[in-house]
């Protein structure tokens, strides 16, 4: 059976992508969660249990990692490609060549871009950060630019392929943007009604719902992942 090593569900947007992809596609796998620790601290970096655990299976020491027998695959895009090749019947990329190329293009754009949004609005599914989001929206032009790009991209794809998801049915692209959908909700970022409806549809997918439910149940407050709170919200 496939084995997927991930970080905290509340914080690890990179882990969320392949977990949602496998879960929503109905591909069985074993989950291994390695709790984030203070690996951001240079003085304790090499002693980080998180880093030590990950380096036992991947040289980069990061999540996610997919293990299939003796093979370890790291990086979300490599994992997505591997899963799509191993399970072609799941149609995780669009069947049409042009649509497939476009889906790969937007996943690569997500993979390397949207740094304003990702940097200023770290994923935090359990929190309600609408007040922080309003200030971020006011003060961070890079966030506004990233959201505008998302609106343009998603609008064009939903119109061209007819919805309800970016390429009609669920694909790698929807899994890739699922963590962005949670950010839009967490920070209450303003988007047009049809984009908010797409965000709601993604968040309602059983695979995404399962991740979000488990993220909210973690109650694992890590201050270095929480720039906008000094303590968790009361239950």
The confidence score (pLDDT) of residue 226 equals: 78
172 within 8 A of 93, measured Cβ to Cβ: yes
Residue 233's pLDDT band (cuts 50, 70, 90): low
The confidence band for 163, taking pLDDT boundaries of 50, 70 and 90, is very high
Whole-number Cα distances in Å, 113 to 99, 109, 119, 150, 189: 20, 5, 11, 11, 18
Angle at 162 between CA 157 and CA 166, to 5 degrees: 40
For the stretch 168-222, pLDDT in tens is 999 999 999 999 999 999 999 999 999 999 999 999 999 999 999 999 998 877 7
Q: What is the pLDDT of residue 16?
A: 98
pLDDT, tens digit (0-9, with 9 covering 90-100), for 26-66: 999 999 999 887 655 555 556 677 777 778 888 888 899 99
Q: What pLDDT score was predicted for residue 235?
A: 55
- Whole-number Å distance between alpha carbons of 205 and 181: 12
Rounded Cα–Cα distance for residues 230 and 223 (Å): 7
SS3 133: helix
User: Taking residues 117-135, what's their average pLDDT?
Assistant: 96
Give the Cβ contact number of residue 103 at 10 Å.
Answer: 23
Q: Structural domains in the chain?
A: 2-90 (3.40.30.10), 97-215 (1.20.1050.10)
Instruction: Using the predicted structure, report yes or no on whether residue 152 has a pLDDT greater than 90.
Output: yes
Rounded to 5 degrees, what angle do the CA atoms 67, 69, 73 make? 30
Q: Please give the pLDDT value at position 62.
A: 85
């Amino acid at each position: 059976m496939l084995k997927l090593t991930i970080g905290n569900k509340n914080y690890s947007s990179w882990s969320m992508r392949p977990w949602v992809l496998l879960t929503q596609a109905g591909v069985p796998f074993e989950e291994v969660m390695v709790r984030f620790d203070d690996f951001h601290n240079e003085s304790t970096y090499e002693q980080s249990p998180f880093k030590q655990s990950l380096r036992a299976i991947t040289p980069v020491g990061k999540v996610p990692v997919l293990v299939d027998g003796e093979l370890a695959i790291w990086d979300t895009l490599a994992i997505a490609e591997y899963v799509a090749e191993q399970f072609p019947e799941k149609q995780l990329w669009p069947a049409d060549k042009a649509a497939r190329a476009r889906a790969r293009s937007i996943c690569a754009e997500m993979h390397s871009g949207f740094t304003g949004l990702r940097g200023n609005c770290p994923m935090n599914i359990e929190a309600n950060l609408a007040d922080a989001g309003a200030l971020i929206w006011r003060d961070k032009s890079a966030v506004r630019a990233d959201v505008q790009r998302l609106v343009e991209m998603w609008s064009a794809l939903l119109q061209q392929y007819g919805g309800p998801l970016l390429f009609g049915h669920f694909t790698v692209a929807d899994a890739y943007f699922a963590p962005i959908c949670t950010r839009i909700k967490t920070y209450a970022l303003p988007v047009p009604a049809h984009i908010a409806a797409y965000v709601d549809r993604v968040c309602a997918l059983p695979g995404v719902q399962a991740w979000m439910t488990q993220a909210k149940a973690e109650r694992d407050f890590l201050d270095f992942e929480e720039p906008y709170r000094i303590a968790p919200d009361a239950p």
